[in-house]
Structure 1
Amino acid sequence: MADVLKSLNLLEVLKESMDTNKLSDVKDAIEDLLISRINVGVVGDRCQEKTTFLNSLRGLGVGDQGAAVHPSTVAPEEVAGYPDPKHTDFRLWDLPPIQNTSPFDPESYMDKYKFARYNAVFMAFTDSLQVNSVKVFLEARSLQNKTVYFVLLVSDKVKTLEEKRKAGLEVLTAQGVAVPKVYVVNPSCLEKLDFPGLLEDVCLDLPEIRAHALLLALPTLTQTLVTQKKEAFKALVWAAASLSGGISTLPVPFVASMVDSSVGVRILSKAQLSLCLDNESVDRLARSRGIDPARLKALRTCTLSLEVSKGEVKKRLAAAEKEVSTVSSRLVQMAMPRQACSASKSFAAMLQALNAALDDMAADAAKIVEVVQQEGR
């Protein structure tokens, strides 16, 4: 539970809102966590590596519906938007390359392509890092935008990747970048090389809600990402359970219907998609790694991994109500606001039922990731 409480500082705000009877703030926070939009821009030449990168960030492969194609059908100076097929609040933008011309005005490029609207920007390159790209980076930093990153896209077969990284770092240093970083990323296999470290840095730099949205939208690539997603959803469960636990003791009319099994269905449905447990996600992952889809699907032993139904959620909530005594009173007192302690049974039941469901679903996701890493090509 301690890890969950640490995963979102917003929880302290939620507890304060419960203490002061601001239930509408809590409900809004739950909606923000369930639906938090994030825009990510990818700058660079419209090459095969960039196309693969755009698709991999959405868990798509060549031929999948909605996948970016190469050669690009977008005009050279236009921006292309790529919505995520499962997470409508996550959108990738393919930005045109920065021209290697002199003189060059980075501010003009940023204004033309509305640089400020992107929560994070990946400056992608496959060979040499251009000086004008560094100028855009420095201009973004001067505007207090920290979420801009240089990404060298390579394949496993490239033997000179460290030489290319070194050359890129030298360009950054020569242009006055104090702490230069170049992340080497395999666009077709994001779990390898530097992408996990890049994701960690992006999430540290982003506002908490945006980092939460990015984590939940990305395909489940590593065991660490499975754990991070599970903890993020448990924080969301805490918020929903707190509202459920507090409603009967707070004198606010028409609040009782705000939190019921339908909220649990929404949370677990999003968790199923985020953990890539739905049939479509498993099929795509299997195809991309050359594994029989049936092999991965057989690893899903939790009913909710296959389908999230209101009936199953109600059954789990009812069972948890009979076992709330197993939740320590210390946990309830720590998590619940003062006025709602007498309603702790409702809180404990929802917390226990949904957290147990998340543990089971995350365990299935972890098994799939393990097999893919061991047997996938």
Structure 2
Amino acid sequence: MADVFRGLNLLETLKESIESNKLSDVKDAVEDLLISRINLAVVGNRGDEKYSLMNSLRGLGRGDEGAAPSSSPVASEEVAGYPNPKHPDFRLWDLPPVPDASPFEPGGYMDRVKFLRYNAVFMTFTHTPQTHSVEVFLEACSLQTVYFILLASVEDTEKGLEEKRKASLEILKSQGVTQPKVYLVRPSTLEKCDFPCLLEDMGRDLPEIRAHALLMALPTLTSTLVARKKETFKALVWAAASLSGGMSAIPVPLVASMVNSSVAVRILTKAQLSLCLDDESVERLARQRGMEPTTLKGLRTCVLSVEVTKGEVKKRLAAAEKDLATVSSQLVEMAIPRHARSASRSFTAMLQALNCAIDEMATDADKIVAAALGEGK
């Protein structure tokens, strides 16, 4: 299955699977990336900071449709789920705080909230981690990907936050956590503080397909994140083109021998949503940053950034098909496995057309992010 991909560059992993004729792994990877299936749990007291974090992870503000409320609508011991409006298979789970009463059994809490079913867990706090939360971490860390997150409130100063972090690290060390790490996160502005570092660590810790699924489902917070999304989509384009172009050395009946424009539409639609280029995402970002939506919308120069249509995709594929002579032999040499140097025209056309489209859309996303971060209030 796709979860066997871990610790390798995604494109290189996909190439190795094609070389080994493991097309089922490649097909699984394509579907997983298009769906962005990932479950992320957030443990901690239910309040403004926690819900602001959960909303920001989905690109939402407090007043947006589907946003988590400032006060929990569920009982204090219940688990609540919050899907992403653009990526419904990226689901955030609001887990109740770890009880502070004694006696306490970490395994009992973990069983009750189904701790191990999530791809990753954020253990959040606003002062220092509780003793029982550390016990849960120690119980789970060998089986689960868990992170301690210090959530900043609007009243916190930089000096105060660093003092909280230092105290938290001392508590973790005293309870037996080796090489403890505490990420400082400002929920309403994830591009600041330690959240980018947290994403880097998650990219190393999670199975590769899950890490890329998370990356694709998150809002475009920084230009670095836009670049990483572009790389992921180019790997996805290569995999889809390989399957559509009949790259396998052994024929597989379920693999199409011609370019499937529907797959191309799915990829570019996913890219538009992942890069937050659709009208709703741009309007929401403008509202959050105190800007005029028309200002950010005007930065979209690629027609696919505004709307992905089958007609436009077919036109680009047809143009690439006619223009195959301009594709350098070096590109083909780099992109195609050794046994398939005589790749089909459909593979080359799809690779060229969709890569160009991803480049254009990522450029638009970069301009929007730069404008929002530079001019937002």
Bucket of the pairwise TM-score, normalised by the shorter protein: over 0.9
Deviations 1:58-110 (A, max 9, x none): 01111211111021111000001001101011000000001122222111111
In the alignment, structure 1 residue 87 sits paired with structure 2 residue 90: no
Q: Counterpart of 2:353 in 1: which secondary structure?
A: helix
Structure 1 CA distance, aligned partners of 2:29 and 2:244? 14
Residues 326-337 of structure 1 aligned to structure 2 (within 5 Å): 326-337=326-337
Alignment-derived partner of residue 144 in structure 1: 143
Between 152-161 and 84-93, report the one with greater CA deviation.
152-161
CA 1:251–1:154 in structure 2 vs 1: closer, same or farther (change >3 Å)?
closer
Alignment-derived partner of residue 11 in structure 1: 14
Structure 2 CA distance, aligned partners of 1:40 and 1:311? 37
Q: Counterpart of 1:100 in 2: which secondary structure?
A: coil
- Superposed displacement of residue 299, structure 1: 0.6
User: Which amino acid counterpart does residue 198 of structure 1 have in structure 2?
Assistant: L
Alignment-derived partner of residue 234 in structure 1: 234
CA 1:8–1:148 in structure 2 vs 1: closer, same or farther (change >3 Å)?
farther
Between 167-176 and 343-352, report the one with greater CA deviation.
343-352
Deviations 1:220-242 (A, max 9, x none): 00001000000000000001111
TM-score, with structure 1 as normaliser: 0.92
Alignment-derived partner of residue 4 in structure 2: none
Structure 1 CA distance, aligned partners of 2:257 and 2:307? 24
- Superposed displacement of residue 128, structure 1: 2.4
Alignment-derived partner of residue 220 in structure 1: 220
Structure 2 CA distance, aligned partners of 1:334 and 1:136? 47
CA 1:341–1:244 in structure 2 vs 1: closer, same or farther (change >3 Å)?
farther
Alignment-derived partner of residue 168 in structure 2: 168
Instruction: Tell me the C-alpha RMSD between the 2 structures.
Output: 1.9
User: Which amino acid counterpart does residue 195 of structure 2 have in structure 1?
Assistant: F
- Superposed displacement of residue 155, structure 1: 3.6
Query: Can you give the 5+ residue segments of structure 1 that lack an aligned partner in the other structure?
Result: none
In the alignment, structure 1 residue 349 sits paired with structure 2 residue 349: yes
- Deviation above 4 Å: which 4+ runs of structure 1? 22-25, 247-255
CA 1:368–1:272 in structure 2 vs 1: closer, same or farther (change >3 Å)?
same
User: Which amino acid counterpart does residue 41 of structure 1 have in structure 2?
Assistant: A
Structure 2 CA distance, aligned partners of 1:122 and 1:252? 42
CA 1:347–1:96 in structure 2 vs 1: closer, same or farther (change >3 Å)?
same
Q: Counterpart of 1:342 in 2: which secondary structure?
A: coil
Residues 19-34 of structure 1 aligned to structure 2 (within 5 Å): 20=21, 23-34=23-34
Structure 1 CA distance, aligned partners of 2:52 and 2:254? 49
TM-score, with structure 2 as normaliser: 0.92
Aligned residues: 368
Structure 2 CA distance, aligned partners of 1:129 and 1:270? 38
Query: Can you give the 5+ residue segments of structure 2 that lack an aligned partner in the other structure?
Result: 1-7
- Superposed displacement of residue 169, structure 1: 0.6
- Superposed displacement of residue 257, structure 1: 6.3
Structure 2 CA distance, aligned partners of 1:102 and 1:127? 21
Alignment-derived partner of residue 269 in structure 1: 269
Contact 1:137 1:148 in 2 (8 A): yes
